[in-house]
């Protein structure tokens, strides 16, 4: 077991009062692992209300006042300390055998254009047996296809565009791999959360929230990461959904100018 200290500081400047939707809490699936409260603090004197959405994510609603607002959190969470589980023998389910709640993760969505990429998917992977090996082949393709760089980020970029441009950030890797999985009749869903430099050499770059995905194999959701393409330690899930639309860290309903964005994770002693 390990203990991880995590948190963020985000500063917005709003020209007028601005409603916002936040997905900045740890996912309810990880609530039992929290050692300290996972509380969003806002320096403005505003009220914050919470609810759980249709994908099981904890969401908060707030109206930020005009001017500068600082949003922050700082908490400690326990983690197994184990890398992402590997199940090379996991099989894919037949579409007709999938649970009703899983079917939505076969369909196209805002950033995952299954209709546009279906021919490509079948030309690349049509001869690969369905199961873990097929998902891994898709991850390998995506990992090799896209060059990572923060300069390549664009909020409107779709899976098809990421494949064509061959560059992007972690959400683009996730979107492309999710889309190709769905084209091959394997349900896949988008995940976002914390992923620090735990168990790897330190990376000399500012930390950000990370995106990965889960594929439905052998009746369970399995973790895959097309950007890193290697099992990692210390993922802290915040939100899941069909794509980044459903798991956006913040959504503003008006102008909110981002002034500062800091994400942190740190492994603590086990005591």
Q: What is the pLDDT of residues 153-208, one digit of tens each?
A: 999 999 999 999 999 999 999 999 999 999 999 999 999 999 998 888 877 677 88
Full set of structural domains in the chain with CATH: 2-76+249-268 (2.60.40.2250), 95-233 (3.10.620.30)
Task: List the 235-241 sheet strands across, edge first.
Answer: 220-224, 210-217, 188-195, 235-241
Residues 270 and 119 sit within 8 Å (Cβ to Cβ): no
CA torsion through residues 132, 138, 141, 145, sign: negative
214-225 pLDDT, tens per residue? 999 999 999 999
pTM: 0.96
CB 49 within 8 A of CB 60: yes
pLDDT at 245: 96
Q: Is the Cα dihedral 18, 153, 239, 232 positive or negative? A: negative
What's the confidence (pLDDT) of residue 201? 80
* Residue-wise pLDDT tens digits, 149-166: 988 999 999 999 999 999
Asked if pLDDT for residue 66 goes beyond 70, the answer is: yes
pLDDT at 255: 97
3-state secondary structure of 97: helix
- Helix (H, G, I), strand (E, B), or coil: what is residue 220? strand
Of 247, 244, 102, which Cα lies nearest the Cα of 186?
Answer: 102
Q: How far apart are CA 21 and CA 62, in angstroms?
A: 7
pLDDT at 271: 62
Alpha-carbon span 91 to 125, nearest angstrom: 16
Mean pLDDT in residue range 88-115? 97
Q: Give which of 267, 263, 268, 269 is closest to 8, Cα–Cα.
A: 263
Kind plus residue range of the DSSP H or E element containing 134: helix 132-145
pLDDT tens-place string over residues 2-42: 999 999 999 999 999 999 999 999 999 999 999 999 999 99
* Dist. CA 136–CA 156, nearest whole Å: 26
Give the residue among 271, 200, 193, 185 at the shortest CA–CA distance from 233. Answer: 200
The Cα-based distances of 131 to 54, 84, 108, 226 in angstroms read 27, 17, 20, 16
């Amino acid at each position: 077991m390990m203990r991880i200290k995590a948190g963020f500081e985000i500063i917005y400047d709003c020209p007028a009062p601005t409603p916002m939707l936040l997905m900045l809490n740890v996912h309810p699936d990880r609530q039992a692992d929290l050692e300290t409260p996972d509380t969003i603090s806002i320096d403005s004197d505003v009220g914050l209300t919470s609810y759980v959405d249709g994908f099981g994510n904890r969401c908060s609603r707030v109206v930020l006042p005009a001017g500068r607002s600082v949003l922050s959190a700082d908490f400690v969470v326990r983690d197994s300390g184990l890398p992402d589980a590997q199940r090379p023998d996991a099989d894919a389910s037949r579409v007709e055998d999938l649970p009703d709640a899983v079917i939505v993760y076969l369909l196209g969505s805002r950033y995952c254009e299954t209709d546009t990429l279906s021919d490509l998917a079948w030309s690349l992977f049509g001869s690969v047996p369905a199961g873990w090996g097929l998902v891994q082949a898709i991850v390998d393709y995506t990992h090799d296809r896209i060059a990572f760089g923060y300069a390549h980020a664009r909020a409107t970029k779709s899976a098809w565009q990421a494949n064509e441009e061959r560059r992007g950030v972690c959400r683009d890797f996730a979107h492309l791999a999710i889309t190709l999985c769905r084209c091959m009749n394997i349900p896949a869903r988008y995940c976002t959360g914390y992923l620090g430099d735990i168990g790897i050499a330190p990376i000399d770059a500012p930390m950000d929230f990370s995106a990965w995905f889960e594929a439905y194999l052998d009746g369970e959701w399995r973790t895959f990461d097309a950007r890193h393409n290697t099992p990692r330690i210390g993922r802290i899930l915040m939100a899941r959904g069909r794509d980044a639309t459903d798991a956006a860290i913040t959504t503003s309903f008006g102008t909110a100018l981002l002034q500062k964005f800091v994400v942190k994770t740190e492994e603590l002693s086990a005591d």
